[in-house]
Amino acid sequence: MSRFEGVKVSDRALQNQFMPIEFRNLKTKFVSVKNKDGKVKVGDLPPLMVKLKALSSAFTEDKIKQKLGESYDDMSNEIDFETFLREYLNLQGQAKEKSGGQKNSSSVLKTSSATTLVESEKATYVRHINIYLADDPFLKQFLPMDPASNDLFNLAKDGVLLCKLINVAVSGTIDERAINTKKVLNLWERNENHTLALNSAKAIGCTVVNIGTQDLVEGRPTLLLGLISQIIKIQLLADLNLKKTPQLVEVLDDGNGDIEELMALAPEKVLLKWMNFHLKKGGYEKTVTNFSSDVKDAKAYAFLLNVLAPEYCNPLTLDTKDATERAKLVLDHAERMGCKRYLSPEDIVEGWTNLNLAFVAQIFHERNGLSVDSKKISFAERITDDVQLSRDERCFRLWMNSLGVENYVNNVFEDVRNGWVLLEVLDKVAPGSVNWKQATKPPIKFPFRKVENCNQVVMIGEMLKFSIVNLGGNDIVQGNKKLIIAFLWQLMRYNMLQLLKSLRSRSRGKDITDSYIINWANRKIKSTGRSRQIESFKDKSISSGLFFLELLSAVEPRVVNWNLVTKGESDEEKKLNATYIISVARKIGCSIFLLPEDIMEVNQKMMLTLTASIMYWCLQNSPEECETSNGYSSTYASDASSPAPSVNGEDESSSLCSEVPSLTIDDAAPDVTVSSSQFENGESTTVE
């Protein structure tokens, strides 16, 4: 079996710009243009790069050649893989600026070079932070920030602000005991905070592809504001669903609408539907379709606020002919009804999408104007998912979005029904597996086109040797939840095992199975002098959390503060340990989407993904780690006699596993077989 040897990336910041699967794909393409001497020249890149999806729509081959010529006098110069990656990122950034940024529903901030937009958004987010984090025990010493200064970029450099803001958006996402909050942090501690923030941001639904820890350490304005805007958006739109606000059923055209259709809408679309519902009641004749051009004259806002809070109505608002003055009166009205003022009249008149969306979301949060009709609410409340299905849906939704798919997934069971987003995921996980010429991109008018897309999904699943007994394309189109979840579990597991296989040179040809991963974890812990072991991912002892804390301490001795660890005996102690485990794992670099309850209840699937993620991180970041023919021998054996130091300790002598290794990548995909019954029973999967 052929291999690509020596994928060396010495710059950690550069590595963080890519997902492992993207690394593999780019490496494959780079190797494909090597000449007979095994070298790649600058002149070989234009025909290669013009075929890359991120560049093809923005540049011609001649244009790429011209761009590269600005940096290289001689196109016959040899170029290495790392330099190729840098040139790719440079062109990708130019392509995004050229196209005005991707229109991704997950992004509040659209990348723009306009200074006025950056300054407006910075000022708005600073005011938001000043309000919601004013009482934070650690940050209050730095607040309030001046919206007109660069305080935001400076304060964000140590990572604490982002971690705290994520917890404001989705409470409890980060165990704050895992945040490094000393007054002066060293470079490693800052990097830990930013790694924790990025992985936690993914875990609440942010898209962080192409954002690395170095970008945050340096406080790069556009990238930092883009991330902050996503976090704030998630906070403000959190209640825009039937589960949190069952009264939203009222916006369905007097109850005649389709509730499933409403459930499938992105939060922004629900917000527009809610807004138009009230505008119609108030006599506004237009339909608002966006948060930019349709609201920049502020008339829609005036009608909306008059419906929601008529007691604060000012007749001058609609009489004035000046849009800026009308916007000022609208903001005065909103403030009187309880909305915090952190938007300017100019922001409304300029039609800044992100800021107007935030303003409408704030109005909804303060006063949604929906009835408390018990019959309607009762009907909406009955539409609830099975708890485990709901938890699985959340996990797979976040995982799919973390891959950087173009179509943001808001509801797995609804969004996969046309097959397109599943094809996107398959193309990320198994590059080249999708025949895009036979796929139909949304919006899809004809139902049979959706079936065609889903049939291709099933066909690719068969090619990857998934067990898809009783699964047909029509099952996905019809939204069969259990079959969709079973397929996604196989897909996620395939991706996970494929990543481990990329480091397979260390396994000496052994199959990668559940028992293989368990054996690695047990030996890793044993090498530190501890005796805690598990027999399977169903082992009830896992619920205490101590096994994973010992494993994390084994792979990175300094990361667990044992003064914070409980015995894990009561439910409360188990919850504390489980929450801490998740944050510590994300802090070292694991991209995981489980909940504390998954550890407490020993959810076998999630225990496998957590252990495999830790294993992958350790092997990837410990080039000195090796295996004997009988199993693993630990590089941390010398630490066995000493306890793990405090996470905030000053001891810098412990191994930080900070070097980026040489990755060995197979060009063949692993064979994975998991049946729907195996999904239910949690049986093991083998990579042949």
- Structural domain includes residue 627: no
Residues 424, 532 share a domain:
no
Q: Are residues 251 and 376 in the same domain?
A: yes
Lowest mean pLDDT segment, chosen from 98-102, 297-301, 446-450: 98-102
Any idea what the CATH number is for the domain that residue 537 is in? 1.10.418.10
> For residue 101, is pLDDT > 70?
no
229 within domain boundaries: yes
Which of 509, 497, 491 lies closest to 686 in space, CA to CA?
A: 497
Count of domains forming the chain: 5
Same domain (yes/no): 559, 496: no
Instruction: Assess if residue 282 is contained within a domain.
Output: yes
Choose between 585 and 22: higher pLDDT.
585
DSSP 532-543: ---SSTT-GGGG
Closest CA to 553 of 577, 528, 579, 578: 528
476 plus 562 within the same structural domain = no
Same domain, 284 and 304: yes
Structure tokens at 658: 């900070």
51, part of any domain: yes
Asked whether the predicted pLDDT for residue 102 surpasses 90, the reply is no
Cβ count within 10 A of residue 375:
9
Instruction: Say how far apart CA 305 and CA 287 lie, in whole Å.
Output: 16
Same domain, 408 and 496: yes
Indicate whether 166 and 230 sit together in one domain.
yes
Residues 177 and 256 placed together within one structural domain of the fold: no
Specify whether 219 is located in the same domain as 123: yes
Listed residues 183, 209, 237: the one ending a domain: 237
- pLDDT for res 669: 34
Residue 210 is part of which domain span?
111-237
Considering 621, 648, 677, which residue would you say is the last residue of a domain?
Answer: 621
What whole-number distance in Å separates Cα of residue 110 and Cα of residue 103?
Answer: 7
**Banded pLDDT at 107 (limits 50, 70, 90):** very low
Whether 474 and 538 map to the same domain: the answer is no
Least confident of 79-93, 468-482, 648-662: 648-662
Distance, CA of 579 to CA of 173 (rounded, Å): 8
On average, the pLDDT of the chain sits at 82
DSSP secondary structure letters along 573-589: HHHHHHHHHHHHHHHHT
Is the domain of 259 the same as that of 288? Answer: yes
Phi (first) and psi of residue 664, to 5 degrees: -105, 120
What does the pLDDT look like over 585-642, one tens digit per residue? Answer: 999 999 999 999 999 999 999 999 999 999 999 988 775 553 433 344 333 333 333 3
* 506-528 confidence digits (pLDDT tens): 555 556 788 889 999 999 999 99
pLDDT level of residue 678 (50, 70, 90 thresholds)? very low
Beta carbons within 10 angstroms of residue 520's beta carbon: 24
Query: Alpha-carbon torsion 84, 45, 441, 277, what sign?
Result: positive
**Residue 68, SS3 per DSSP:** helix
Domain boundary among 364, 380, 396: 380
